[in-house]
Amino acid sequence: MKKVTLFATVVAASMLAGGVTAYTIGQVASNDTRTYTPAAFGEQAGNHFTSYEADKYPDLTYAAENAVKGVVNIEVTKEVKSSRNSRFGGGGGFDPFFEFFGIPQGSFEQPQQPQQQRGGGSGVIISPDGYIVTNNHVVEDASEVKVTLNDNRTFTAKVIGTDPTTDVALVKIDATDLPNIPFGESDALRLGEWVLAIGSPYGLQSTVTAGIISAKARNLDIIPSQFRIESFIQTDAAVNPGNSGGALVNTRGELVGINTVIKSPTGSFAGYSFAVPTSIVKKVVVDLKEYGVVQRAMLGVTFQEINDAFIEQRGKETGINEKGGVYVVEVDPEGAAHAAGIRKGDVIIGIQELSIDNSSKLLEEIAKHRPNDKVTVKIKRGSDVKQMEVVLRNKSGNTGIVKSDVVAAIDALGGQFADISDRARKELKINGGVQVVAISGDGVLAQARIRTGYIITAINDRPVRSITDLNRITSKIESIDGIYPDGRAVSYSIVGK
């Protein structure tokens, strides 16, 4: 018990004293009178260290004092509906009793009463005329958005557009001549480079914390979207609730990321934070401003990163015994990759001039492009290396511009899905389908009271054999056909929106 207390005391001292603690650890002995300058320490540390040059160890005050002017506090109000079941005392939800007797599920519910819920985060001014980038999860479903500037002026903001797949959103306030933060190049960031995180953690507006780049191209599988694009910058700059949507800047005060998430067992900062890189943010905000919706380019493949787990599980089957690249598991027959000649079993090792050694890099590179953009994809097929010219397509399978009022079935349904296995196809005697694994929000699935496990085989009499098909259906959903895992075939007619 005493050892634990001692350790806690040492940690606290390190946090309070900062570099003093590190300097004390660096001394060789209490009676050693030598001076340990950074240069001398670097020379003794090893021959891979470069010589110390003072101008390459930057002061962070320039970046902090300038960039903080372009970071705002965002407060949102959301309307949350609640209802009570007047006959059975609350809850609502699905009840098989009503279904058996054909009684509509909502017949005993009192009208839903909207309640206000408040939340917030941070944002970054990216233009003098009031455009502000933040996270989708900060402003999603907001009925009102208030923005407070660094000089304490407050404005009502309009949401221009949101992108759940990257967790980026664009809002605008009616103002001019605002201080804004210029975009930097997140691709140029180096491991160990100093960065600052600026935002409003716990409502403490204009808080600045410092850290280094700990890693790049991190995939956490944390964005709640079927087509998430994750290639996070990882830093050890302290980020807490309220920092979401705030700025990650380099030592020149340039925006290199939007702080988005922390990885913590407590919900508060525990050593690492993650930001969406500007290589993705820039493309998203330009699309939202110009079209109101992101023009997402699709390669048209499902893939798996070739890492130790892949080699252990599929190495013998595929003949692959070295890490690196991504393995093409399936190719959409109507997609861009198939048209260019990419096939199942190929290994993607490069796009344009970028070497692809993990799935995050692939996602990030494709996310920079729009449908109809041409990219060079380098693949390995057996012992051969080939370069393919690929014309990227949109989620509907063509190269046109997607309009903001076009909603794909996968978004309108409101849920998460999985392609069914070959075994399930055989057991249920169906040609294919998409299984509902989760239901969220107030989408078509929730309205129709479809339950998880249901396998969608057709929408509007159009066959659904895979998740890709859900992306291609953009007409209003009027009917859904499918089957439950127990073999019950059920069709739903959709009334209303």
Give the tens place of pLDDT for each residue, 256-280. 999 999 988 888 888 899 999 999 9
pLDDT single digits (tens) 199-232: 999 999 999 999 999 999 999 989 888 789 999 9
* The predicted structure's pLDDT at residue 207: 97
Residues 99 and 47 in one domain: no
Distance between CA atoms of residues 273 and 234, nearest Å? 6
Which residue(s) pair with 109 in the sheet?
A: 85
Confidence of residue 107 (pLDDT cuts 50, 70, 90): very low
Distances 67 to 206, 224, 285, 383, 489 between C-alpha atoms, Å: 10, 30, 19, 50, 58
- Strands 168-172 and 154-163 come out as antiparallel
Residues 199 and 126 in one domain: yes
Residues 66 and 89 in one domain: yes
Collapsing DSSP to helix, strand or coil, 170 comes out as: strand
Domain CATH number, residue 334: 2.30.42.10
Residue 328 lies inside a defined structural domain of this protein: yes
Residue 145 lies inside a defined structural domain of this protein: yes
Residue 31 lies inside a defined structural domain of this protein: yes
Residues 385 and 248 in one domain: no
Residues 357 and 244 in one domain: no
pTM of the full structure: 0.76
Residue 397 lies inside a defined structural domain of this protein: no
* The predicted structure's pLDDT at residue 269: 87
Residue 400 lies inside a defined structural domain of this protein: no
Could you tell me how far CA 272 lies from the centroid of its own chain? 16
Residues 127 and 200 in one domain: yes
Residues 73-93: what's their mean pLDDT? 63
Distance between CA atoms of residues 352 and 343, nearest Å? 19
Residues 311 and 459 in one domain: no
Range of the domain at 10: 2-56
* The predicted structure's pLDDT at residue 466: 85
Residue 51 lies inside a defined structural domain of this protein: yes
Domain boundary among 331, 361, 391: 391
The catalytic site residues sit at 137, 167, 244
- 34 against 377, higher pLDDT: 377
Domain boundary among 270, 294, 318: 294
- 50 against 434, higher pLDDT: 434
Average pLDDT, the chain: 83
* The predicted structure's pLDDT at residue 266: 84
* The predicted structure's pLDDT at residue 147: 98
Domain CATH number, residue 199: 2.40.10.120
* The predicted structure's pLDDT at residue 49: 63
At 480, which helix (H) or strand (E)?
strand 479-483
Residues 159 and 65 in one domain: yes
Distance between CA atoms of residues 431 and 83, nearest Å? 40
Residues 138-145: what's their mean pLDDT? 94
Residues 181 and 121 in one domain: yes
Residue 398 lies inside a defined structural domain of this protein: no
Distances 190 to 193, 215, 247, 432 between C-alpha atoms, Å: 5, 9, 18, 46
What total of structural domains would you count in the chain?
Answer: 4
Residues 104 and 72 in one domain: yes
